[in-house]
A and B are shown apart, each in its own frame.
Chain A
Amino acid sequence: MLELKNYRTQVHNDWCPGCGDFGIVNAIQMTLLEMQLEPHRIGLFSGIGCSGKTPHFVNAYGFHTLHGRVLPIATGAKLANPSLTVIAVGGDGDGLGIGAGHFVNTGRRNLDFTYVLHDNGVYGLTKGQASPTLPKGLKTKSMPAPSIVEGINPIAMAIASGYTFVARSYALDVRHLKATLRAAIEHRGSAFVDVLQTCPTYNDINTKEWYAGDDLPSKAPRLYKLEETGYDGKVADPTVRDETNLKKGNALLKSFEWGEKIPIGVFFKVEVATFEDQLANRMPALKEKPFVEHDIYSRDISPLLDELA
């Protein structure tokens, strides 16, 4: 029986007190514990920024990559060894700014992995510039002027890109986050989890209190759970195109809900063949064992040479 300590490292954590990242790393560790995944079977990948340090705090194969490039590196490793449980984490600037092209194209492939977006609206480590998810017109603490560009809707973008599991959670609701992460990891295909997160140092707008609705006349929390409203984003029969399209449409509509009410939970889910499945269809040997365990070091190239002779 694995314990929580089996998923922790002794590495000094230098995140700001109250950072939403703590909630995310704790939820990741708790999810792995709950699933009893052995650390050596997990690959945890990150980009650059505060969230980039996440793998160093988790006892699992950890890849702290380049700014925006976490998805390609995770993709390469997963294809080499599909037996790994691959989780990628990154900030909103990492994934939707500098890495936006990879975000879109990784969704198209439907690799079996999970991508966790630390979505706090700011570039924290470079001291609080607007990130791609910051809504237009807002000015957080260290910005000289309000943003004059639209914020990206990560959920809508994920659905349009082809992610087959698209959900949102909240870093300070570890219970919900853990359940969402588990569902994402268990999903066969590309799972995207947009994690709303506070940055106590630089985002003085979307604070813990703001999410709690303290500023609203009703004082009601902004976040509500989709599941509790009867919303069902799961495509029952993926072969029915109309159903898939309808579910995507519903999810898109929901994803634009923002302000006094913000939905969290699973927006969309469909089970279709993964990238690995399709590669294995071309190369049936890949079904037998992870590619990395195949002996491909004594190939006979003579048929190729004869073909040219």
Chain B
Amino acid sequence: MVNSFTWMIGGPQGSGINSVAENFAKACIRGGLHIFANIEYHSNIKGEHSYYRLRVDSREPRSHVDWVDLLVALDRETMFGDLNKVHPTHRGHRHEVSPGGGIIYDSSLKLQPESFGRDDIKLFPVPYMDLLIDALKEFGKDKELSKYQVMVNTIALGASIGLVDYDFDLATEAIKEGFTGRKAALGDLNISAARHGYDYAKKMFGQNAFPIKLRKQPLGAKRMMIRGVQAIAIGKLKAGCGFQTYYPITPATDESEYLESHQPEYNMIVVQAEDEISAINMATGAAHAGLRSSTSTSGPGFSLMAEGLGWAGITEAPGPVIILWQRAGPATGLPTRTEQADLRFALHAAHGEFPRIIIAPGDVAECFYDTFDAFNYAEHYQVPVIILADKFLASTYKDIPLFNTDGMKVDRGDLVQEADLAKSPDYKRYQFTDLGISPRARPGLKGGVFWTTGDEHDEYGHITEAADLRVRMMKKRMNKIELAGQVIPNSKKAILHGPTSAPITLVGWGSTKGAILDGMEDLRADGIETNFLQIRYVNPFPTDFVQKVLSSSRRTVAVENNYSGQMAGLIRERTGIAIDSKVVKFDGRPFSQNEVYEGVKDVVRDGAKEVTLSHA
């Protein structure tokens, strides 16, 4: 078999699985192949088990699968699990190895082949440490073994490339890129380590030891290897965001750090706040002052932001854009694991009623485009905008074409200038208008002095408790979400993938998109025709479109990474249509392609109302 392959590397946290997995992925992309790479890790700095899964294919994979063709074990636990624990988190990835697949592991563990309990897989013991010593010797560094011990990961990478018979030069190139400047020497050391692994695998296991080969494909247009945090950060830069605040939290922080690392080229203020309360309020302050602003967090931080969100709402702040990287809750929950359980929370966070726009991008490309739009909406409608992403989107790499920025236009809304203010001296920040959107000044503009308050207010922004003004102001504000619903085209708000009509309509939102799309192909191969309604805008909700699609569906199945099927509930609320069945997963792990297939298959076979999936 050629170019259809899942590789996994597992080891204790701190053993450098990220860098080798990303180097392997990069080498594949440089060879014209496509990748999907996702990581699972513990809330721990060093020692706990983590693993990185890399799926490589000749066609673009949009999800992962739950098996692995070639497993690289940097430790024993990767193969045999942590069954000694009171509550084991896994029973070892040896069970996930596909029949005919193999395991690369450290020969010094001296494992008996029987101990794997699998006679249908191939074992590739590699003397990690001996090979590393040989590699270090070439540089006269073998006496400093302890310093370079982590490089066994690269030995294993080399052995992997040897077994799949892939182009070693591409791996060399990828490794080199990771070590530039003063670190260049380290790059050479790593290349040597990879070479030792590669040669060993070729020599000891032979040409045909492993059944799957990776072969270069002709290169098309340039492709990026990118994950959600980067796509959103770049979307912010493209949109003209000048101000980002954050408080350290998994999995959101990488986004802010990416932005901070690009501060000098792009003039972007990034502030690490004392907490998320401060983070959102700083961002709102900057937005009112006329700077596009943003904050980024996950559930626990967003819980603290609720109050500030309400203030942004009632003061009709032109932002901020809030990125909510969902993770498994409540409270600390599963801090490094994924979930889609904050849909309802994002929709209702903060007391009282006020308009907010909520967008849930389904993949890394949508992360970029939706973030760009979010800033336009924030300023145009003068509302807070929430991007609902999650840990899975945050940390999952895909290769995609370079973003197409043609026609992307910044819309700053009705932002008045001093000349306008000079013409009409009685400026009112909250002036009643037909559409509910008031011309917006910013502090510093002559003639634009305004007041803003979290109290109900009059057109100038002064406090009022008058009942009639309250009614008018509420209507003014709430009208803006109605307006946004009319102006933003349905084609952005929801997408029907697959045939217009199918016996089964899958319904999903956010990061499950890829697994659903790939799972649909498995279902089709099995004779089950489906289409997929992806809801991208939670608010304004594409009520008419969803109603139209679902009312003509014969059977509807919601696929959601949460317990209760929050989108299914929202659909019922907005359209009156009850979704027939739910396939849910709330163990903190993302849906795989095969799980979507299995879950929907269960529904079709047994007519199950609800299927809970878990694949630890």
Binding site for B on A (CB under 8 A): 9, 11, 38-41, 43, 48, 53, 55-56, 59-66, 69, 71-81, 83-84, 101-102, 104-105, 279, 282-283, 285-286, 290-292, 294, 296-299, 301-306, 308-309
Known contacts A40-B445, A69-B308, A76 near B289 by CB under 8 Å:
yes
CB-based contact B461/A62 at 8 Å: yes
Q: State whether the Cβ of B614 lies closer than 8 Å to any Cβ in chain A.
A: no
B243 touches A62 (CB 8 A): no
Question: Which 10 A-B pairs rank lowest in CB-CB distance, beginning with the nearest?
Answer: A76-B285, A64-B453, A105-B274, A80-B289, A76-B282, A72-B281, A80-B291, A297-B240, A73-B285, A76-B286
Evaluate contact between B289 and A286: CB separation under 8 angstroms: no
Residues of A within 8 A of B290 (CB): 80-81, 292
B268 — which chain A residues lie within 8 A by C-beta?
Answer: 283, 296
With both chains docked as a complex, state the minimum distance between the C-beta of A47 and any C-beta of chain B, in angstroms. Answer: 10
Contact A61:B242 (CB < 8 A) given known A101-B278, A102-B278, A308-B224: no
Knowing A65-B454, A72-B273, A77-B286 are in contact, say whether A40-B293 is a contact too (CB < 8 A): no
CA distance A83 to B222 in the complex (A): 44
B245-284 vs A, CB cutoff 8 Å, 1 = contact: the mask equals 1000000000000000011111111010111011101111
| With contact pairs A72-B273, A304-B262 given, residues A39 and B449 touching in the complex (Cβ less than 8 Å) | yes
Report A-chain residues with C-beta under 8 Å of the C-beta of B134. none
Does B446 make an interface contact (CB < 8 A)?
yes
- Interface pair B281/A303, CB less than 8 Å apart: no
Chain B interface residue count, Cβ-Cβ cutoff 8 angstroms: 67
Cβ of B462 to closest chain A Cβ, rounded Å: 5
In the complex, besides A79-B243, A80-B290, 14 extra interface pairs with C-beta distance below 8 angstroms are A38-B446, A61-B448, A63-B285, A66-B454, A69-B311, A76-B287, A81-B444, A291-B269, A291-B291, A299-B240, A301-B405, A304-B234, A305-B402, A308-B224
Q: Which residues of A contact B129 (CB under 8 A)?
A: none
Contact (Cβ within 8 A) B238 A76: no
B403 at the interface (CB under 8 A from A): yes
Asked if A72 contacts B237 (CB within 8 A), the reply is no
Least CB distance, A177 to chain B, in whole angstroms: 23
| Cα–Cα, bound, A195→B577 (Å) | 60
**Distance to closest chain A CB from B349 (angstroms):** 15
A296 engages B242 (CB within 8 Å): yes
| Interface status of B493 (Cβ within 8 A of chain A) | no
With an 8 A cutoff between CB atoms, is B450 at the interface? yes
Residues of chain A lying within 8 A (CB to CB) of residue B279: 72
Are A294 and B245 in contact (CB-based, < 8 A)? Answer: no
Can you list 17 contacts pairing A with B, beta carbon distance less than 8 Å? A40-B445, A56-B453, A61-B448, A64-B452, A64-B453, A69-B307, A72-B282, A74-B285, A75-B271, A76-B288, A77-B286, A78-B285, A80-B286, A296-B241, A301-B234, A305-B224, A309-B225
Which residues of the other chain, B, contact A11 by a CB distance below 8 angstroms? Answer: 462
Say how far B172's CB is from chain A's closest CB, in angstroms: 18
B544 touches A (CB below 8 Å) = no
Q: How far is the CA of A142 from the CA of B297 in the complex (A)?
A: 42
**B242 → chain A, closest Cβ, in Å?**
5
By a CB distance below 8 angstroms, the chain B residues around A304 are 234, 237, 262
Q: CA of A266 to CA of B266 in the docked complex: distance in angstroms?
A: 40
Q: Nearest Cβ distance between residue B388 and chain A, in whole angstroms? A: 23
Residue B451 interfacial (CB < 8 Å): yes
- B463 contacts chain A at the CB level, 8 A cutoff: yes
In angstroms, Cα B567 to Cα A117, docked, is 47
Known interface pairs A81-B289, A292-B442, A301-B403; A76-B245 also in contact (CB < 8 Å): yes
Closest to A68 in B: B277
**How far apart are B159's CB and chain A's nearest CB, in angstroms?**
27
B444 touches A83 (CB 8 A): yes
Are B224 and A64 in contact, with the CB atoms below 8 A?
Answer: no
Residues of B close to A38: CB separation below 8 A: 446
- Quick one: given A301-B238, A301-B403, are A79 and B271 in contact (CB under 8 Å)? yes
- The answer on a CB contact under 8 Å between B449 and A66 is no
Chain B 113-138 interface 0/1 with A at a Cβ cutoff of 8 Å (1 = within): 00000000000000000000000000
Contact A309 B224, beta carbon cutoff 8 Å: yes
A285 nearest CB neighbor, chain B only: B267
Interchain nearest-CB distance for A122 vs B (Å)? 21
Chain B residues near A283 (CB, 8 Å)? 263-264, 267-269
Closest-by-CB residue of B relative to A290 is B444
Q: Smallest Cβ distance from A40 to chain B, in angstroms?
A: 5
- In Å, the complex CA distance between A306 and B245 comes to 26
Which chain A residues border B265 with CB–CB below 8 Å? 303
- State the CA gap A285–B264 with chains docked (Å): 9
- Picked from A75, A84, A303, A306, the residue with its CB within 8 Å of the CB of B443 is A84
Quick check: is B410 within 8 A (CB to CB) of the other chain?
yes
CB-CB under 8 A from B291, the residues of chain A are 79-81, 291-292
